[in-house]
Structure formats: structure tokens, C-alpha cells
Structure 1
Amino acid sequence: MRGEHKHRIFIVDDHPIVLSGLKALLDGQDDMTVVGQASDAEDLLERLDGLRIDLMVVDGSLPGLSGTELVQRMSATHPSVPVIALTLHEEGAYVREFFKAGARGFVLKRSAATDLLTAIRAVLAGGVYVDPAVASKIVSGEPEVRSRSELLSEREERVARLVAEGYCNKEISSELGLSVKTIETYRSRACDKLGLYSRAALFRHAMSEGWFTAR
């Protein structure tokens, strides 16, 4: 596969050995190439301008600006760039925080050698990926998890609510002051996390969640 057709990946991790290993893993794929590496959020933000990225892999435990804070900032400033969190921690609440921040995937570092490539391809195809080792913990394994809505970021939930209310992407764009393309990105992410792909399904979900009475 020629280089120009490869997916362009950026990695953020403060461990040089991990960075080196991930770069070797991804560069060894016919459909991927690592276009940049950073050791923390500030390092990333300095390199980001003008760089075309298709996907970002972010360490969950970064010095300074945390992994979840970085994901949240990327989701707000570069919503078209999906982010996969790569961490040592597998507590349900910890995983949910990343998804609420806007992450599209979550992979445990101990599973990276076997699962990261699968996660990257799934997310690049428009899906959401959760490491099988933690999937049950965030949707059904813990009593306090009420629904998949808890995986939505604030902006994703806002867009999903407006879609359920019958607004089209252009109207939502005007309401939130964002481009139609950005609205489409948030809408797609919300639908993927909820597993709901029609307005009728979103409406039923909104009714069950009490969205229309909680404004």
C-alpha cells in the first residue's frame, strides 16, 4: 500500500519505550503510519498545528494535563480526529470518564499488542471500541451505571437530544454555533456509543432517559 493511502496516527505517551514500541507496531502495518509522537499534552499541542492526523492514541496517565483533559480538549478543538485511550487502569468509572470526555476507543496497555490494531481499525471505520476486559464493567457490571448515555460527552448528549427533538443537522449547527460537519461528527459518535441509528430510536431513548423533562 502506498504511503499516501496510509492512515496517519499520532501517539502521546510519556514513556519512551512505550512510544518506541507503539511506533514499531503501527509502522509495521500496511495501512498505518505514525506521523508524530509527544510525551505530554503541551508537547502535542506544540506539534499539532498544520499536521494532518487521522487518529490519535493517548496515554491515560500523562504528566500535567491529564489524559481525560487532553481527550476533552481534542474533542472540542479537533472533533474530526478520533482518540483512543491507552491505559493501565480498568476501573469502570475511569473508563467512562474517557468516553464522556469524547474518546472513541479504550484499550488496556496489557492488551495493546493484540487489541490496539483492532481498535484503531474499528474507530477509523466509524465505530467505537472498548477493550473486552472492561466492556462489562461500563455497561452492565456495576449497579451505578444506569445506561449507555453515561458514556456520552456533554456535547454528544446535547446533539443527540436535539436530534431526538426533531432538529436537523443544519438547525443544530445554528443552535450550537458549530459547523454542520462538526455536528455530524458529534451525532455519529453519540449514535455509535448508544447503538442507535435512527431518529425514532433516539426518540425512544430520549423518552426512556427523561431527556424531554430534564431541560
Structure 2
Amino acid sequence: MHCRRIFVVDDHPIILSGVGAMINSQDDLTIVGLAGNAEDALEGIGKTLPDVAVVDISLPGVNGVTLIEQLGERFPEISCIALTAHEDPGCLRQVLAAGGRGFVVKRSTATDLLQAIRCVLAGDNYVDPALAARILSPRSAPQGDPGNLSERERSVIQLVALGYSNKEISSRLNLSIKTIETYRTRATEKLELHSRAAIVRFAHSNGWLAELPI
């Protein structure tokens, strides 16, 4: 059986060795390298060229989000999964914006990490159920039609769902805050979305959390 190659980056030796041993116990996966910081990770990944890099967000020096961004620039063929103790949409947004393909919370089970690895290897994105359950609770399914939105309205709603403030969206889209508020109001009225949680659920259901609008 062809084993897919995994590199793990974490500054906690116990977690690093534990995750490595767990992945190596799988018939279809193998560890090709371990690192405790971004500098060693860049060197090791450059030498081993794994299929997937599992990266702790809270690294000393250069943090995991920046490392994921650097890996995407240097090795675009490598899929990155964030491994983190943080469970907030803002952290998820940063990882996705940096090019991460997966987001796994450290308190989750080993099965969740393995599922994330296999998911990104199959070409999909993965969001840990521990976070998804908080921001994507399956209350009422979104009813609006995304086709009713203008390009600007969609961009604004997408950025809201990814955790950006109106001020940040204004700067990113080079529009006034008042204009952003107008687009946001029009879009939420068209889609009948009455809370930020509803916006996030709608964006998730349409696959908008896996991409960042230009």
C-alpha cells in the first residue's frame, strides 16, 4: 500500500511524539519529519516534501498561521492542517486566509485528526466538529438564494462570515464603512439572515468559508 507522507510541527515534545506515533500506526500514513518550530519545519519540509503538514498554531517565534502561509508560497502542492487549542471563528478565518486546508482542535480525538488528514488528501477542506458545532449549529437551514446577491454583496457577506469587521472589510475592498454597511444590510435582507451566526451557517453551506474573496 502506498503511504501518504505527513510532517508534524508542534513545540510540545509530548504532543509531537504522540501525534507522530498515532499517524505512524496507520497503514496508509507515515511520518517523514517532526519539528518544534517554524525554522526547523521549513528546512525539514523542504527536504522531505510531504503530502500534508500538520502545524500547531502557537509556535515560538514565527507562529503557525505565518508558517502555513510561508509553506503555501514555497510548496503549494503541500496541504496544511492547523492543530490548535483555540476554538474561535477568528482563528479559523486566519488559517483559511493563510491557505490552510484543515482546522483541528487539540482537545478532539485522534480519529478527528486522522479524518482531517484523509479529508485534505482527498482534495477537500476540514473544520473540526468542536468548532463547527459552535458556529454552524443546524437550527434552521439557510433559505436565501446566493444568486440574488450582487458580486459586492456576496464579497461583504463572505468576509463577515470569515470574521472580518466592517472596518477591515472597508479597507480590503477599498470602500467606505457606510457603503459596506449598506451592502451588508441589503444582503442580509435578501437572504433573511438575522444574526452573524446565521451568516456563518449560510456561508458554510455554500462553501464560502474555504476561499477568501479578492
Pairwise TM-score range, normalised by the shorter structure: 0.5 to 0.7
Distance verdict in 2 for CA 1:60–1:38, change over 3 Å: same
**1:197-212 equivalences in 2 (<5 Å):** none
Q: Is the 8 A contact 1:139 1:148 kept in 2?
A: no
- How do 1:1-215 and structure 2 match up within 5 A? 1=1, 5-135=2-132, 146-147=157-158, 195=207
Structure 1 runs of 4+ aligned residues shifted over 6 Å read: none
The 8 Å contact of residues 60 and 87 in structure 1, kept in 2 or not, is answered as yes
CA contact (8 A) 1:57 1:83 kept: yes
Q: What is the root-mean-square deviation in Å for CA atoms of aligned residues? A: 2.8
**Quick one: percent identity of the two aligned structures?**
50
The CA deviation string for residues 118-175 of structure 1, in whole angstroms up to 9 with x for no partner, is: 000000000000001212556689xxx9327865xxxxxxxxxxxxxxxxxxxxxxxx
What's the CA shift string for 1:28-77, capped at 9, x where partnerless?
00000000000000111222333231100000100000111001111111
Using structure 2 for the length normalisation, give the TM-score.
Answer: 0.64
CA contact (8 A) 1:149 1:194 kept: no
Q: Distance in 2 between matches of 1:134 and 1:146?
A: 20
Aligned AA (1:195):
G
Structure 1 length-normalised TM? 0.64
Question: What secondary structure does 1:111 align onto?
Answer: coil
2:7–2:45 CA contact under 8 A, matched in 1: no
User: Using the alignment, how far apart are the partners of 1:77 and 1:31 within structure 2?
Assistant: 26
Q: Which residue of 2 aligns with 1:180?
A: none
Task: Mark the runs of 5 or more structure 1 residues left unpaired by the alignment.
Answer: 152-191, 197-208
Query: What is the CA-CA distance between 1:104 and the residue it aligns to?
Result: 0.1
Give 5+ residue unaligned stretches, structure 2. 139-155, 163-203
Amino acid at match of 1:17: I
| Equivalent position SS for 1:44 | helix
The question of whether the paired residues in 2 share the 8 Å contact of 1:10 and 1:55 is answered with yes
Q: What is the aligned length?
A: 153
